[in-house]
A and B are shown apart, each in its own frame.
Chain A
Amino acid sequence: MSLVSHNGEIREATAEEQVEIDARQSKAVSDKPTEQLAEIRKIRNQKLLETDWKVTSAKEKGTTLSTSFKNWRQGLRDIPSTYTTESEYDELLARDDDGNLTHSVWSES
């Protein structure tokens, strides 16, 4: 039985509370991949947004974008289909000690 703090008194959860705690924690496990993918999409969209100006500029000036740049952006768009497992999501969201994302898919070069 889980412990809860009820108005400052630590006690065992009631049966009703335990059902709720168990449901919440099992839902967290089942929802984790979905929430991770949502977080990954959010980061992906931010990366694309940050480099959209390069595409617009090239279009306006009639210049060409490098193949590696275009491949990198395409790779970002393909993330949801390329990476599909929970362990792959963990790798995509991994950060170093400075908080920077470490997976190569996030790096342009």
Chain B
Amino acid sequence: MAFIGKEPLTGAYNMLDNLTASATASYSLTLDSTAFVPESANHLLVSLNGSIQKAGSSYTVSGSTLTFSSALTSSDSIDFVLALGNVLDIGTPSDATVTNAKTNFVSTSSAAGLQIKGDGTTDGTLQLNCSQNSHGIKLKSPAHSTSSSYTLTFPGTDPSADKFLKTDGSGNLSFADAGGKLVYLTRQAATSSVSALYFDNVFTSTYNHYVCVLNIVRPVSDGDSFRGRVNYNGSAKSSAKYRYISDYTDTGGTRNMNGSDSDTEFKFADSVKNDAFQGGYAGVWNIFTDIGDTSDRCSFRYMGSGSFNNGSGNAHISITGGGYFDNGHDEINGMDFYYNSGNIAQYDITFYGVLKS
């Protein structure tokens, strides 16, 4: 039969289990033998001895207990108790019918506003979709077996560039630098032949200390000399102010020391072999600059160690060297690398800045 008037859209209308009158005023309400708790007395329609009773005066409700205003007798008849629905028992909404405005997930001190549940097998997962809903990334709970229950509280400050989230041990997150003190700056790596490598504007006032990793710098010609200069804004410094020492020993025990206090370039290693397996120079250098420091001190120093194979044979050479560009406080912010008489066949050089704190 069609509904007369405006049809309720939601509800939970149930005829409760029969009640048998006896010499008492109170009766337990059940639905399918399970205790039933109505929202209020007004949500019940109670018929006693053929008459509808007035809620709140003829009967009251507390929890699942219906209490008449006076005790009944076994000759009375509780005809029926009809539950007229509960406010929140709204049934199952159709797909995609709960809009943003209809949601209001309020968190309390004891419960999260929204909970993504597991199904007994799969851990709770929250998915954030792309605009077309064809892709999505997920935030997933740790496995049940880990017994994990913790809270991550996001930082109250806006993030700045290159920061990571870290915890304070209590789940409070903050934006921080990565744990390491080395910050990648630049790298040049290739196996194509070039005459020189120019690193411009590598050194800045952000750092005083740099680490240069020379994974390989291999010459085209056996026995070539690995050299370099400093530059400023791409312009190489060519004055005879390069002071350095290269100290290396070959497998025969012969020690070689090269050095100068007035050269026009650094000589990092002599007689480097061109061999894909054991050729080229490899090393790690510490470099110190003082850009922005106006005191009278030299503005570029390096010290490092490395190894290379002598191009004249298979003499394995280890080398330690260091030097500085001694032209007062001449600004330096880059380096050039090259071999003396031929091209570079293969190179892989990376610069890192070392954080001051």
Contact = CB atoms under 8 A, between A and B. Distances in A.
Contact of A97 (B188, B195, B314, B347): B314
Q: Which 10 A-B residue pairings sit nearest by Cβ, starting from the closest?
A: A99-B315, A95-B313, A28-B341, A2-B195, A99-B313, A28-B340, A95-B312, A6-B198, A5-B194, A4-B196
Contacts of B193: 3
B49 interface: no
A5 B314 contact: no
Interface string B280-318: 000000000000000000000000000000101111100
Interface string A1-33: 011111110100100010011001100110010
A20 B341 CA distance: 12
Contacts of B252: 99-101
B231 to A, nearest CB: 11
Interface in B13-38: none
B54 interface: no
B250 A99 contact: yes
A34 interface: no
18 contacts: A2-B196, A4-B194, A4-B195, A5-B198, A7-B188, A8-B186, A17-B196, A20-B236, A24-B341, A28-B341, A46-B254, A46-B255, A95-B310, A99-B250, A99-B251, A99-B312, A99-B313, A99-B315
A98 B313 contact: yes
A8 B254 contact: no
A67 B234 CA distance: 61
Interface residues on B, range: 35 or more
Contacts of A32: 341
B312 A94 contact: yes
A99 B316 contact: yes
A2 to B, nearest CB: 4
B172 interface: no
Given A7-B188, A42-B256, 7 more contacts: A2-B196, A3-B194, A4-B198, A21-B338, A97-B313, A98-B251, A98-B313
B342 interface: yes
Interface in B169-209: 186-188, 190, 192-201
B256 A7 contact: no
A10 B193 CA distance: 10
Interface residues of A, number: 30
Contacts of B201: 7
A10 B192 CA distance: 9
Nearest to B192: A10
A93 interface: yes
Contacts of A46: 254-255
A29 B312 CA distance: 17
Interface in A30-73: 32, 39, 42-43, 46
Contacts of A101: 252
Given A95-B315, A99-B250, A25 B186 contact: no
Contacts of B198: 4-7
- B195, B236, B251, B341 — which one has the most chain A CB atoms within 10 A of its CB? B195
Contacts of A4: 194-198
- B188, B190, B200, B255 — which one has the most chain A CB atoms within 10 A of its CB? B188
B200 A8 contact: no
B210 to A, nearest CB: 16
Interface string B128-166: 000000000000000000000000000000000000000
Nearest to A96: B313
B195 A43 contact: no
Contact of B254 (A10, A17, A43, A94): A43
Given A5-B194, A7-B186, A96-B313, A25 B342 contact: yes
Given A24-B340, A25-B341, A42-B256, A10 B194 contact: yes
Contact of A5 (B197, B256, B341): B197
Interface in B332-357: 338, 340-343, 347
A4 B188 CA distance: 11
Given A24-B338, A28-B341, A7 B200 contact: yes
A45 to B, nearest CB: 11
Contacts of A2: 194-196, 343
